[in-house]
Amino acid sequence: MLLSYDDPSPSLLDDVAPEVASGVLTTSLWILVASIAVLILVMVWAHAARISRGRRVERILRPIRPRLLALAADEEPEGEPPGRLSRYRARVVDRAVLDLLGKVRGGAVTALVDILDGHGTVDGALRGVRSLSATTRARSAQVLGATRRPEHAAPLAGLLTDRDRAVRSTAVRALGVLGDATYADAVLRAVREVGGISGVPSHVAADALLAMGDDVREAVRRGLDDPDPGVRYVAATVAARGGMASLLPRILHLFRTDRDERVRAAAARTLGMIGDGRVIDDLGRALGAHESATVRLATATALGELGAPAAIPPLRTVLADPDRRLAEVAAGALASLGRRGEAVLVDALERGTIPSEISVRDTSVVSEDDLAALASLGAVTAFGIRERRPDLYDLATSARRAGELTHHDEEPTP
């Protein structure tokens, strides 16, 4: 028999607690429902506001658009120009003009920039580069670059050391639009990481320098010796531009000795685009397994770019490499080398095995069937063999399936 226990002094909470807990739960549920309702209302309002703003912009641009398009086509527009616009309408027109400026050249640029001048937008941008707002500084840099006026290069160059990375990136793009190589060194320096703060993205700086033309050659030459690997990477990438073949010895030295694999990969791609067959031996040695995957892939691509028959033997050695990407890139490079390159691929397919002179370093990890499948897959990817040689395509498909099954069987059981 269980003993009963009666509390001689029961607490008031014993009676109130269930009601309090129920009230708190109910209140929480109502708050959640109200929050969801508010969120839905905000989303609906934002969508409606976006539609309304789009319609308002369209109403403003509809009577002006024919004139803008005529100016963009460097033609004389019909009718009288619009009168003085309100501040909001002028901003709407300015955005449309800036969109068009990215697509036009010659006299059309001058005509469209005159509209920005008339609205005071260019003068405002010159003042805006000193604004406390990073958004304003970035927008000002975009406007100054769009004008294509050389006198705006100096204020843009001043933004290359801005504390905001987005502002610096916009200024670099704007200098690229201007096409003035005067500040090519400053653009390269903007890539550096300073005080733990990332520099301008490499591709942004490279695009700007490429837009500046061949006058950046000396800046690129200096960039190849810069202590910052990001600067060397950009310089090596830009050196692939036509007319910079004189930099070949320095690029080759960079490829041989640099410690940064991204820099070496960029140098490899540049060597391929410069197109000097004397670098084939150096590129061939870089296909070895001791190199990083990044360098090997860039090297295989460069050998294909050279277009020289002497590139076939080194590319053939990696047709059955365990790295599937490298095998496919090598196959694509061979296919680009004409009949002799394609003959190597066809031979790999017809035999379905690894060429005897290629040593497999670790057969316990990668089987011969798997390696043969890699070569087959690369060959099929490289040139439309399905239509040209359906028999070889069937061989490739079978080899690939066999390789996938073998690879699956060799995976350790968890």
pLDDT for the residue numbered 92: 86
* Cα 237 to Cα 240: distance, rounded to the nearest angstrom: 6
Is residue 395's pLDDT more than 90? no
Looking at residue 73, its pLDDT comes to 82
Choice between 21 and 17, residue whose per-residue pLDDT is larger: 21
At 322, the pLDDT band (50, 70, 90 cuts) reads confident
Structure tokens at 131: 């604004």
CATH 1.25.10 domain extents, the chain: 200-274
Q: What is the pLDDT of residues 260-302, one digit of tens each?
A: 999 999 999 999 998 888 899 999 999 998 999 999 999 999 9
Query: Mean pLDDT throughout 220-224?
Result: 94
Share of the chain above pLDDT 70, in %: 78
What does the pLDDT read at residue 374? 55
- 339-348: pLDDT as tens digits: 888 788 777 7
pLDDT higher at 103 or 8: 103
User: What is the C-alpha separation between 190 and 354, in angstroms, rounded?
Assistant: 48
First CA to last CA distance, the chain: 55
Q: Mind spelling out the 3-state secondary structure of the chain?
A: CCCCCCCCCCCCHHHHHHHHHHHHHHHHHHHHHHHHHHHHHHHHHHHHHHHHHHHHHHHHHCCCHHHHHHHHCCCCCCCCCCCCCCHHHHHHHHHHHHHHHCCCCCHHHHHHHHHHHHCCHHHHHHHHCCCCCHHHHHHHHHHHHHCCCHHHHHHHHHHHHCCCHHHHHHHHHHHHHHCCHHHHHHHHHCCCCECCECCCCHHHHHHHHHHCCHHHHHHHHHHCCCCCHHHHHHHHHHCCCCCCHHHHHHHHHHHHHCCCHHHHHHHHHHHHHHCCHHHHHHHHHCCCCCCCHHHHHHHHHHHHHHCCHHHHHHHHCCCCCCCHHHHHHHHHHHHCCCHHHHHHHHHHHHHCCCCCCCCCCCCCCCCHHHHHHHHHHHHHHHCCHHHHCHHHHHHHHHHHHHHHHHHHHHCCCC
With beta carbons less than 8 A apart as the criterion, state whether 250 and 277 touch: no
Architecture of domain 200-274: Alpha Horseshoe (1.25)
Q: Which one, of 253, 199, 259, 208, lies nearest residue 231 by Cα?
A: 199
Greater model confidence, 2 or 141: 141
CB 283 within 8 A of CB 271: yes
What's the rounded Cα separation, in Å, for the pair 41 and 26? Answer: 23
Contact 107, 74 (CB under 8 A): yes
